[in-house]
Amino acid sequence: MDDEARILSRMTDSGFRITTPRRDVVHAVCRREEPFSADDLYDELRTFDSRVGRATVFRTLDVLVGLRLLDRVHRPDGSHCYVNAGPGHRHHLICSECGTVVEFHDCNVDDLVASLSTRTHFRIESHWLELYGTCERCQVPVN
């Protein structure tokens, strides 16, 4: 099953109707390999004379994030973008210069989470880790 069919099936299984505009948004999302904003996606869809409204793009992206099919990534400037979600628990490295997003899976914060839970009596259900820096391509060579 290709990504588009898998996403549409997951949406249907979760009780969402698959309208033509939602199908168009999912199709556009599946073509993306780089991080994108909702406005980027909306502009792309308008270019192809799609009848997808801006609100539909935002709502559909929120649905896909809620279903863990997309990840919302926060940029250093306060805006956010979306990347296709890989399987399992993941975090992101984000270049402050060009916006490149690199996914990583090693997360050694389990001891910290357990300690915080014990000290605060909080039942911690999830965490989110994004690291900002400069990717190799954007780094200025040091002489």
Residues of the chain with CATH 1.10.10.10: 1-86
Q: What's the chain's Rg over C-alpha atoms?
A: 18
The candidate with the shortest Cα–Cα distance to 62, out of 72, 51, 77, 73, is 72
Instruction: Tell whether the model's pLDDT for residue 1 goes beyond 60.
Output: no
Topology of domain 88-143 in CATH is Dna Ligase; domain 1 (3.30.1490)
pLDDT of residue 121: 94
Give the pLDDT confidence of 27-86 residue by residue, as tens digits.
999 998 888 999 999 999 988 767 899 999 999 999 999 998 998 888 877 788 898 876
| CATH code of the domain occupying 1-86 | 1.10.10.10
Residues of the chain with CATH 3.30.1490.190: 88-143
Kindly compute the dihedral angle of the four CA atoms of residues 114, 72, 93, 87, in this order, to the nearest 10 degrees: 70
0.85 exceeded by the pTM? Answer: no
Tell the residue number behind the tokens 């975090």, with chain if given. 91
The candidate with the shortest Cα–Cα distance to 18, out of 64, 49, 66, is 64
